[in-house]
Amino acid sequence: MQMTAPNLPSFSGYVFESMVTIRQTLWRLVEVVVLFHALTMPAVAQTDEPASEHCPVTKSEKPGGWIENDVLGVHVPSDGTFTFTPGGPGFVDADGAVGIKWPWVRFVPGQLNVGGQRIDEEAPTARAYIPGGYGEVGFQSMYLVFPTAGCWEITGGVAGKSITFTVLIAVEGDGPEWRFNGPPRGWRVTTDWR
């Protein structure tokens, strides 16, 4: 009598299908979080003027303003510009830099690192204040902190791969009313994606 193996899915096929399901579930979760954030936060000031011709801002063609690759997804403003206004969202840090909560999604396990540089003038590097507690994969909220207004290239990385976007930052008046004194104890501070 000849024995034959049962017709079972291959392990690699199972892993691929599971990863697709996890990714779809993560995006549904992100959509819910972004919608909740949009409904509960004051409107983000975006200028009526187009981004500077000297700032090649990143714009998303996806609903909700997301860009992604195989390891990371990140939200970008719909017109590529974010303006910090008095009474608006965000904060002014102890050194005068302006910052805002910025959502990311990790599609692969690993620690997110984010940083950036101003590309239209010399300035100190942008930094990220990253809290713990988000696990190794999935949604990761953090504060993105810009030392000055201007054209910023921001890069986030995980597992040796990265995604980059460009955003034009403007500050009206003294910026947001919330004053911040650096990250709370235990938060990571990154200035580079590596």
Instruction: Give the residue numbers spanning the domain of 58.
Output: 11-190
Task: Tell me how far apart the alpha carbons of residues 150 and 108 are, in angstroms, rounded to a whole number.
Answer: 32
- Those residues whose C-beta lies under 8 Å from the C-beta of residue 45, and which sit 6 or more positions away, are 82, 83, 84, 85, 88, 172
Residue 67 in any domain: the answer is yes
Model pLDDT for residues 74-118, shown as the tens digit of each residue: 999 989 999 999 999 999 999 999 999 999 999 999 999 999 999
Burial class (CB in 10 A: 0-12, 13-18, 19+), 114: buried
For tokens 């990571």, name the residue: 188
Task: Tell me how far apart the alpha carbons of residues 88 and 83 are, in angstroms, rounded to a whole number.
Answer: 9
CA atoms within 13 A on the CB side of 56: 4
Residue 136 in any domain: the answer is yes
Beta bridge partners of 152: 118, 167
Confirm if 114 and 165 have CB atoms less than 8 A apart. Answer: no
Model pLDDT for residues 6-56, shown as the tens digit of each residue: 443 443 444 334 444 555 554 454 444 433 333 333 333 333 344 456 899
Residue 34: in which H helix or E strand, if any? Answer: helix 11-40
Contacts 24+ apart (CB under 8 A), 38-41: 41/89
For tokens 């969202």, name the residue: 89
Residue 159 in any domain: the answer is yes
pTM of the shown model: 0.75
Domain harbouring 145, CATH code: 2.60.40.10
Residue 1 in any domain: the answer is no
The number of domains in the chain is 1
Model pLDDT for residues 118-148, shown as the tens digit of each residue: 999 999 999 999 999 999 999 999 999 999 9
Residue 96 has which token pair? Answer: 């005068």
